[in-house]
Structure 1
């Protein structure tokens, strides 16, 4: 990760945790599922499975991870961004939001 990206991740928005706990648990459940899929991919490679089957599984992992990211982006917009705009940080917050959307769209 580039230094600028790390700096952005450590921005004061990190003070806004993922709440309520149901949202956090849902996100963790999805991430655990992705983790299991990745372990499955490792096993597929280890077992010399057919390349197309591995590629299909990679595509599924990417889609699942992208879904988690969109969920987090939505949460961020509805909580952190709204909070900061209400506190007079419109320009800084919107610039950061646009950067993260641009970064995410490239992935």
Structure 2
């Protein structure tokens, strides 16, 4: 954990770990599909599902980060908003 950072709340952390484990299983499934010579269309569909799952996991983290930043009374509000905007630009 970095100094001055905003860690996830324990319940959100547990939720995120579950999501990431599910994604890990999906990736392993795609590896098996490739090894077994499965149809490319099936693989593409599974990759799309993983991308959506990652986007969903990322939303959880961004939401927590935004809530933590906006509730930090010691930070300048304009600075916080600019930081959040830049972060959202980077991930979108």
TM value normalised by structure 1: 0.77
| Cα distance change on mapping 1:23 and 1:88 into 2, 3 Å | closer
Q: Output the CA distance in 2 between the equivalents of 1:43 and 1:13.
A: 42
- The structure richer in helix per residue is 1
The residue aligned with 1:93 is 80
2:71 alignment partner, SS class: helix
Higher relative contact order structure (alpha carbons within 8 Å, sequence separation ≥ 6): 2
Residues 42-84 of structure 1, C-alpha deviations (whole Å, 9 max, x = no match):
111111100000000000000000000011111111113321x
Task: Count residues in correspondence.
Answer: 91
TM value normalised by structure 2: 0.89
CA-based RMSD of the aligned residues comes to: 1.5
Runs of at least 5 residues in structure 2 that lack an aligned partner in the other structure:
none
